Amino acid sequence: MIRIIRTAQVAEDIDMATKTKTRRDRKIEDSYLDLVIEYPLTSIKSQDQLNAAQAMIDRLITKGTLDEGEELYLDALSDLVAAYEDVHYPIRLASDADMLRHLMDAKDVTQVQLHRQTGIPKSTISEVLAGKKPFSKGMIRTLADFFKVDTSVLASNL
């Protein structure tokens, strides 16, 4: 008799958990579907579509806490925007001069300090900063160690 009551209770608990999960999943699906109906998730092909997608992204971001359906939608829409921007607004690689200048500014070092602490000749540093000379492989290793960055950050133009 006790076993039958426990079995019935377990079945009731499973049924309640299933109903709760179904309700929660339905809410996620509803918020996602509502957003898809409002602004469908399709490839962005024009500046007007990009502006509309960005407005939707801005609306969701400023909303604050999003439910799971809204987060899934936001992720998908952000991917579509990124794909469009990669084609229409590519970001050029930073030149060796720009990269060195940025790293020096970030670490607040001068050309003289960089020379003293790395052993790289002052003339070489000046030529790189003037855009007259690219990084050499040895220089990349030395600068990566000094600035504590991965060599791939400096080797993007090789």
Q: In this structure, are 49 and 114 located in the same domain?
A: no
Give yes or no for a contact between 141 and 155, defined as CB atoms under 8 angstroms apart.
no
User: Is the CB of residue 95 less than 8 Å from the CB of residue 131?
Assistant: yes
110/68 same-domain check: no
pLDDT single digits (tens) 92-144: 888 999 999 999 999 999 999 999 999 999 999 999 999 999 999 999 999 99
- Domain end, chosen from 54, 88, 122, is at 88
* 73 vs 20, more confident: 73
Per-residue pLDDT tens over the stretch 75-85: 999 999 999 99
Contact 82, 110 (CB under 8 A): no
Domain match, 100 and 81 both: no
Looking at residue 83, its pLDDT comes to 95
Q: What is 70-93 written as a DSSP string?
A: HHHHHHHHHHHHHHHHHHHSPPPP
Q: Which residues 6+ apart lie within 8 Å of 60 measured at CB?
A: 35, 66, 70, 73, 74
Range of the domain at 144: 96-154
Query: Is the per-residue pLDDT at 21 higher than 90?
Result: no
In a shared domain, residues 60 and 12: yes
- Whether this prediction's pTM lies above 0.75 is answered by no
- The pLDDT assigned to 5 comes to 46
pLDDT of residue 64: 86
For residues 106 and 82, membership in a common domain is answered with no
* pLDDT of amino acid 107: 94
Nearest to 21 by CA among 29, 32, 10: 29
Helices (H) then strands (E): counts for the chain: 8, 0
**pLDDT higher than 70, residue 157:** no
